[in-house]
């Protein structure tokens, strides 16, 4: 995708389509007014005959523009003529790009950054145009013989006055970085498990380090992990023919003595549940169980592009969870890298067995904060649906910062409690803890388990099991929470 900022008057541009906003009660935005004047009142005629009420998300495409270099004009409803909320702004952008897929439009100029959005400037508005349009235009074709995509969109220009060019350009660069990070995350998530193995994920990390000099990569093999005492992590991979990998990425953008931010992403490239086998229906979606790891790769790509002045370590414990004669059995007891013992009462609660050893491994970096990202529990979807990801942690400021970043990024998160009473559900008669607390408060008890391995640093856990991918006709990875993580890191860099 080609992105640019355009400051010339709209009526002088040559492009396939210009996007302008219309408010309720037939009120035109400044750009819509300018095009209306240059087309002998064409837009006002369309609106006055009732083709567009101005309700947020409504669209009308005008295909014939007499005596103009512009091939078409897309009218987008913005709602009442007052500052938009961030979510309504995103809704209008999404309606615009979705309406331009089938007409095979290749180049657009979007004027919607001129809209007033509550508490947001031109940088934020421009960034979201890039993110939303790029996200909607994404289509997975890697494993298809027909590579044709529904959208032909190849060039996006943001219309801005000269006085706002610098902010619009800054937003464009941020948006491009986050969009490409989301693309990588979605691509890896959408790949099938027979292609995207732990070894494949490690290879993608290596390729990323070749592209960006600020990234160093080290891959720990099973023998390395055995030497470190990662008995919990390795117990998961025993049932798979694919060797486990602990992928470590080191981004050095800040002072060499500054403590790093550690991101840990669950990289379970396929989860059959192990001996506690999952039901067959929907099991193909368990290729998405590595989306936490993919989001760490995507976020580090975005960070490297933005050249943020931070030190960041990415850890991706990667394995499969398969049934096998050597696989974990319910009732087995394993010893984690920390020395704590775990009774495995459910082999399908395997993500926490990877993450707990990665959390202990993170101690060696003397981190400023640690954030883990995991498709950990189906229970988070019961609690929050597919709108917000769950946030839990041992530090109020960190959790609040993540939620605030999600609000800015339109990538919502909501905090759940991590109270001591829930730890009672993890008691075991035979080990230091059980790996599952049962059906009650599943998201919380999973985080309670992880909290036992995060006592030496400030830590937060993002459960993205309900938000990392979509089901149904639009099935596919979403790229979340790359926007939230990127915004959190931008905020840290600017603090």
d(CA 90, CA 80): 15
DSSP β-bridge partners for residue 67:
none
| DSSP run (H or E) holding 107 | strand 107-110
Picking from 443, 434, 392, the residue whose alpha carbon sits closest to that of residue 413 is 392
> Tokens 């013989």 correspond to what residue?
145
d(CA 238, CA 274): 10
Q: Which residue is catalytic, options 278, 415, 458, 470?
A: 278
d(CA 375, CA 272): 14
- Residue 326's SS3 state is coil
Establish whether 352 is a catalytic residue.
Answer: yes
Contact 178, 127 (CB under 8 A): yes
Q: Which residue is catalytic, options 125, 127, 352, 452?
A: 352
Q: DSSP secondary-structure letter at 335?
A: E
| Strands, E assignment, 201-306 | 215-220, 245-252, 261-265, 267-271
Neighbouring CB atoms inside 10 A of 385's CB total 10
Establish whether 278 is a catalytic residue.
Answer: yes
- Residue 485's SS3 state is helix
DSSP β-bridge partners for residue 342:
334, 433
Contact 447, 355 (CB under 8 A): no
d(CA 298, CA 328): 31
- Residue 438's SS3 state is coil
Contact 269, 242 (CB under 8 A): yes
Picking from 307, 225, 301, 267, the residue whose alpha carbon sits closest to that of residue 490 is 307
CA distances from 30 to 26, 71, 115, 323 (A): 13, 20, 9, 62
Which of the residues are catalytic? 278, 352
């Amino acid at each position: 995708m080609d992105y640019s900022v355009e400051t010339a008057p709209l009526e002088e541009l040559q492009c396939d389509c210009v996007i302008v906003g219309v408010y309720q009660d037939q009120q035109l935005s400044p750009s819509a007014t300018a095009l209306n004047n240059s087309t002998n009142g064409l837009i006002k005629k369309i609106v006055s005959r009732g083709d567009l009420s101005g309700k947020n998300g409504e669209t009308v495409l005008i295909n014939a523009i007499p005596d103009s270099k512009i091939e078409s004009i897309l009218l987008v409803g913005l709602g009442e003529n007052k500052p938009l909320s961030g979510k309504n702004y995103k809704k209008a952008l999404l309606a615009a790009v979705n309406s331009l897929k089938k007409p095979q439009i290749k180049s657009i100029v979007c004027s919607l950054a001129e809209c007033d959005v509550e508490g947001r400037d031109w940088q934020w508005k421009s960034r979201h145009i890039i993110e939303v349009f790029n996200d909607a235009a994404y289509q997975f074709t890697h494993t298809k013989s027909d590579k044709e995509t529904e959208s032909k969109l190849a060039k996006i220009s943001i219309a801005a006055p000269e006085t706002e060019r610098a902010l619009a350009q800054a937003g464009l660069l941020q948006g491009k970085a986050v969009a490409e990070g989301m693309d990588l995350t979605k691509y890896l998530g959408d790949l099938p498990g027979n292609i995207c193995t732990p070894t494949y994920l490690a290879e993608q990390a290596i390729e990323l380090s070749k592209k960006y000099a600020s990234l160093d990569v080290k891959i720990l093999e099973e023998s390395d992990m055995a030497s470190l005492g990662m008995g919990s992590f390795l117990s998961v991979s025993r049932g798979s023919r694919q060797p486990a990998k602990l992928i470590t990425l080191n981004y050095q953008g800040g002072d060499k003595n500054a403590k790093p931010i550690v991101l840990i992403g669950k990289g379970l490239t396929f989860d059959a549940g192990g001996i506690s086998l999952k039901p067959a229906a929907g099991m193909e979606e368990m290729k998405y169980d590595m989306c936490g790891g993919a989001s760490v790769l995507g976020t580090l790509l975005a960070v490297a592009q933005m050249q943020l002045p931070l030190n960041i370590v990415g850890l991706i414990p990667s394995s499969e969870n398969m049934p096998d004669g050597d696989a974990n059995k319910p009732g087995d007891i394993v010893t984690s890298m920390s020395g704590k013992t775990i009774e495995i009462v459910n082999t399908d609660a395997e993500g926490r067995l990877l993450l707990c050893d990665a959390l202990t491994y993170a101690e060696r970096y003397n981190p400023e904060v640690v954030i883990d990202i995991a498709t950990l529990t189906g229970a988070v979807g019961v609690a929050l649906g597919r709108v917000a990801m769950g946030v839990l942690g041992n530090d109020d400021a960190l959790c609040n910062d993540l939620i605030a970043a999600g609000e800015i990024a339109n990538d919502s998160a909501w905090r759940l409690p991590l109270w001591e009473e829930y730890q009672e559900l993890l008691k075991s008669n035979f080990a230091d803890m059980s790996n599952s607390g049962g059906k009650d408060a599943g998201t919380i008890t999973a985080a309670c388990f992880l909290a036992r391995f995060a006592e030496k640093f400030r830590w937060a856990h993002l459960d993205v099991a309900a938000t990392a991918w979509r089901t149904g006709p639009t099935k596919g990875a979403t790229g979340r929470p790359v926007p939230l993580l990127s915004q959190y890191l931008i905020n840290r860099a600017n603090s």
